[in-house]
A and B are shown apart, each in its own frame.
Chain A
Amino acid sequence: MRAALAAALTTLLPAVVGRRWVSGSPVLRWSLGAVVGVVLVATGAVMGGLLGTPIAGAALTLIIAWFVGPRLAWRARSDRLWSPAKRTVVVILMIGSVLMLMSVFRPVPSWDAWFMWSLKAKGLASAGSFDSLVFLGRAYRYSSQDYPTLLPAWQALAYLISGDLSVSWPLQFQQAWLWTAGAVALVALAGRYPGPAFLLPLAWVVTPEVVWQSMQGYADVPMALMLVLGVAVLWDNQRDPAAQIVGGVLLGGAALTKTEGLPLVAIVLACLLVTRRLSPVLALGPAIVVGLRLPWFLFTQMHSLGNEMINAATISSLLASGSPQRLPQISFTMGSVMLSPARWGLLVPACLVTAILARRIDLRLGVAAMLALAMFVAVYQATWSFQGSTLEAFINSNVDRVLIAPLGLLALAVALPFTRRPDSLPV
């Protein structure tokens, strides 16, 4: 019973508060608001965890967010979902409901997922602080103690409310909830304009790889959803302070969810903002990202928690070409995975063919997607020789998850220009 309460409170409360940060149609408010709310409550739990009280941090953040939300709320230019797209939202809700129902019978499924994320949720819940064995003890070095803790902090709230560290289904429920809210929000954001703009984002979010990975306990899908939604909010609203705030919160959430979140956010912010005429409002989103990410960064620096994969040694090795050059094999493996219909459907070919036939792609987001892919190629090149396995085995163990965020950016890069006339159609 308390586990059900934990699942309900950690998902519904953030949605109720987060919807006050978005104004417009109910679909957009509840879906995008739910994701914003999750970022806010989890960030509160991170800050609380740093001070020794995650529940108080989350509760205080929710109270503050409840009151300041309406003053900061972002209003989309056009917020009503294009009527032919409405069935899509219904189907996503149906699939999400099935995933949430199944989550009640599932533990955290995958080994890597609980080494890296759920273990920390359990550690934070049992100690009430990051200043504890799981985060600082040598016995838990294998769990990459420097990894950002937005997802574990949100999950720790579920453990704390349920009071049972041996039942983990509320964590699965949280992830199914986040996929559902994020998928609806993405379709609602891209489907505000008449036309095909929502189709490629839909193809991305329901692709087998994204749906499967969203239920395996990893942080990749939550991070990618926050990243892509933040980009969709900021894309044509960069001088709107409210868009900068909501977009900044979402991107800050992405940066605090995974190690690669921060460089991905830096890439998209640079690509979105670099060609713009300078104005103080453009600094708002990046400032929020820095503000959300900084406390955890300082904690890792204070306790000398370094990244075992990306550090001075591996970067030096990459720059000095110290490890055997395998860029063609890495690119080929990543390319063949992207083109696998069983994993990604027709997403990548459709993005490329659409960009060529329609002769339009958002260049800034296209460059961001390519830079994101290039970043992962470089990471593989720099780190594979330290893994103690073959390159193929190392890539195949995680390439599916690694591609989620860059392909989401690619889908947006091709789709969002269709929100502008003459490609948008009469209602």
Chain B
Amino acid sequence: MDARLIDLLPELAVAGLIGAGLAAFVLRPVFDRIRSARAWWVQLAAAAVGVTLVLPATVLIFEQTRYFTVRGLTEVGSAAFEEPPMSETGARALEDALRPGETWASVTRLGRCADVDLYLFYWLAFRLVPNPPDCARPDVEIFWKVAPPPGAGIVARGTDYAVVRS
């Protein structure tokens, strides 16, 4: 996130400048009318800074949106600008393999339902509702960055995943 922010500094600076112009335009009529109120300048400055900063904030949201769009994410994003815990194609292969009511489990190098990173299992649990996870006897398993056992019934396979039906 920090590295991305540094990359975005020029855009953020330009957005801030435009925002300052916008703040001057928006608050000018107010400036002309409130100067007899107590502490008017403090309140006006706070509002002006707020309006100025709203454009850089919008630029950040735009960048975040672009990040999701490039990766084809339609359902869930990821924390800040970090990568999602699993590729979109892997998640969709598992979704396609599941029939209504069937259960699933994820398998990593640490074992079944054991997360290499904390969020893979949760991330899949969100994606696969209403199919519930079952870490004891799943109908379908996805092997993530680990090879399935020999002879497993692979129904879909990618560079870093294999979907296996029990």
Contacts and interface: CB of A to CB of B under 8 A. Distances in A.
Interface of A: 83-85, 87-88, 90-91, 95, 98-99, 102, 105-112, 114-115, 118-119, 122-123, 126-127, 133-134, 137, 139-140, 142, 165-169, 194-196, 199-200, 202-204, 206-208, 211-212, 215, 341-342, 345-347, 349-351, 353-354, 357-360, 415, 418, 423, 425
Contact of B122 (A106, A110, A115): A115
Interface string B84-112: 00000000000100000000000000000
Contacts of B51: 91, 202, 206
A102 B76 contact: no
Contact of A212 (B60, B68, B69): B60
A133 B60 CA distance: 36
23 contacts: A87-B25, A87-B26, A91-B51, A105-B65, A107-B74, A107-B76, A108-B76, A111-B123, A123-B130, A139-B125, A167-B75, A196-B44, A199-B43, A203-B50, A208-B54, A211-B61, A345-B50, A345-B53, A357-B42, A358-B38, A359-B38, A423-B38, A425-B37
Contact of B77 (A108, A206, A347): A108
Interface residues of B, number: 55
A207 B50 contact: yes
Contacts of A359: 38
A164 to B, nearest CB: 9
Interface in B136-159: none
B46 A199 contact: yes
Interface of B: 22, 25-27, 29-30, 32-34, 36-40, 42-47, 49-51, 53-54, 56-58, 60-62, 64-65, 68-69, 73-80, 95, 119, 122-123, 125-127, 129-130, 132-134
Contacts of B33: 84, 194, 425
Contacts of B47: 199-200, 202-203
A353 B40 CA distance: 11
A99 B39 CA distance: 33
Most chain-A CB neighbours within 10 Å: which of B43, B47, B62?
B43
A168 to B, nearest CB: 5
Interchain residue pairs A-B with the least CB separation, the first 10: A350-B46, A84-B29, A109-B77, A358-B38, A126-B130, A357-B39, A208-B57, A203-B50, A199-B43, A203-B46
A139 B50 contact: no
